[in-house]
């Protein structure tokens, strides 16, 4: 149990966090979620994290009939922002996320955003712990946390090979299914 007790978020958190300025519109937040294939963006005000906007927030607003794209992110973001610290033990993070009913937690240190931990990060950690010390090769690919490639180079669509933010595969598939 000692391995579990002494594992900290700093070991598993994603350190490159996609953010949007509080002055931006929801359209920009959605564009970033699609571009980076993520479920949320952290809202910042002068580099300080103040909220988070998630797919769930957008879906709920859409069901109310809100005209979303032009709304400022501040009107849709979840606040107050629930956060954690990099030195929180991983097992305590499970408890906190369940208690709060959230799927992701920004990681903050001295009012500065230093990472984010998601359900996927926690799942990868559980798999790694379960299989240690003999991690099968097929599981190795599952637990590797792919960094947000688009921050260093734009991701490509697996279907057409174009950059994801330029491809029309998703729109084409949706149109043909309708």
DSSP output for 117-152:
EEHHHHHHHHHHHHHTT---HHHHHHHS----GGGT
Q: Is the pLDDT confidence value at 178 over 80?
A: no
The pair of three-digit structure tokens given for residue 141, joined into one six-digit string: 């690919």
Domain boundaries in the chain? 2-147, 154-178
Condensed to tens digits (0 to 9), the pLDDT of residues 55-92 reads 888 888 877 766 787 888 998 898 889 999 999 999 99
pLDDT at 146: 52
CATH code assigned to 2-147 = 3.10.580.10
% of residues, the chain, pLDDT over 70: 74
The pair of three-digit structure tokens given for residue 108, joined into one six-digit string: 């903050």
**How many residues does the structure list for the chain?**
178
C-alpha to C-alpha distance for 43 and 41, rounded to whole angstroms: 6
């Amino acid at each position: 149990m000692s391995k579990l007790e002494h594992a900290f978020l700093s070991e598993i958190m994603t350190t490159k966090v996609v953010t949007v300025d509080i002055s931006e519109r929801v359209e920009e937040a959605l564009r970033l979620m699609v571009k980076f294939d993520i479920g949320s963006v952290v809202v910042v005000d002068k580099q300080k994290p103040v909220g988070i906007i998630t797919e769930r927030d957008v879906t709920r607003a859409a069901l109310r009939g809100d005209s979303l794209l032009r709304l400022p992110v501040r009107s849709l973001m979840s606040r107050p922002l629930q956060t954690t610290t990099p030195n929180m033990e991983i097992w305590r993070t499970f408890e906190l996320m369940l208690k709060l009913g959230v799927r992701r937690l920004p990681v903050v240190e001295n009012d500065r955003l230093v990472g984010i931990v998601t359900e996927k990060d926690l799942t990868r950690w559980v798999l790694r712990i379960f299989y240690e010390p003999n991690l099968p090769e097929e599981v190795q690919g599952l637990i590797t946390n792919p960094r947000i490639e688009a921050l260093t180079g734009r991701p490509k669509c697996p279907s057409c090979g174009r950059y994801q933010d330029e491809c029309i595969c998703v729109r084409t598939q949706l149109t043909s299914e309708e």
